[in-house]
Amino acid sequence: MIIPYYDRGGITIYCGDCLEIMSLLELLFDAIICDLPYGITACAWDTIIPFEPLWENYKRLVKKNGAVILFGKQPFTTLLAASNIKQFRYEWVWEKSNSGQFLNANRKPLPRHENILVFYKSLPTYNPQMANGKPYACTSAGVGATTSDLSVIGWRTINTGERYPTSVLKFSNDTGLHPTQKPFDLLAYLIRTYTNPGDLILDNCAGSGTTLLAAQNEGRRAVGIEISEEYCRVAVDRLRQPGFFSIPDKIEVQPKQMALLDDLQGGAK
């Protein structure tokens, strides 16, 4: 059986190749949230995971009404959307606090955003995270009324200041633990939006564990897979920090049998 690297408080981490480990899991996830390698650098860890086996695993592991939320950056974003265009629904845009690629400032705009693509088969959980705005009241014309005579036929709308979210999410960059680290608050926002308390989330490229930490803090369960033992240790250290919520019930994992755990310690992330 697969031996977890960490299994406590509703959070489980496996250290190894994500395609191999996902193929052995016998769980159904309420959502998949993952920051995949974009394949836009020469770093060994930045190798695109083959889309065909990736989606085979995702489709088997996510519930029919579960969302698959994947980060991206061009040109990887286009490839990712096209890899499952049938289930691609829409995107968010994460607006960062800092720009990058200053050496190219005289040749193109400084990039300050990344994409977040949302895939699903059936309508998933969606809890819009309302924003605060200025309250207002307005009067709308009724049938047959003219805009100059709203007092005759019409209705009055009063807004208390709540605003539905737009497709642009502004969150400050988080740095220091992983080269592609995503903001804790952004991950928590996505978790609250697409899952409910107690739900089970998969992050198959867990990195330094930000998704797992946010899931724990939001009262969700999560399974993370990370090929680097170094980052598995970082994730565990973060999860053990005091002050974060944890679920007492242990995740029941019933994976298929495999010969050696060592077989998982290799391959591209």
Are 75 and 208 members of one domain? yes
Residue linked to tokens 């999860």? 239
Residue linked to tokens 């579960």? 66
Are 107 and 222 members of one domain? yes
92 occurs within a structural domain: yes
pTM to 2 decimal places: 0.81
* The total number of structural domains that make up the chain: 2
Are 197 and 73 members of one domain? yes
Are 135 and 224 members of one domain? no
How high is the pLDDT of residue 180?
76
pLDDT (tens digit per residue) in 226-266: 999 999 999 999 999 876 555 544 333 333 333 333 333 33
Are 83 and 171 members of one domain? yes
269 occurs within a structural domain: no
Are 146 and 58 members of one domain? no
Are 16 and 94 members of one domain? yes
- Classified as helix, coil or strand, 12 is strand
- How far is the C-alpha of 143 from the C-alpha of 183, rounded, in Å? 48
Q: Is residue 146 over pLDDT 50?
A: no
Q: What is the CATH number of the domain that holds 118?
A: 3.40.50.150
- pLDDT range class, residue 138, cuts 50, 70, 90: confident
- How far is the C-alpha of 128 from the C-alpha of 130, rounded, in Å? 6
Percent of the chain with pLDDT over 70: 80
HSE toward the beta carbon, residue 250, CA cutoff 13 A: 7
Residues of the domain holding 134: 130-164
Phi–psi pair at 54, nearest 5 degrees: -60, -50
pLDDT (tens digit per residue) in 152-210: 445 666 677 788 999 999 999 877 767 778 999 999 999 999 999 999 999 999 999 99
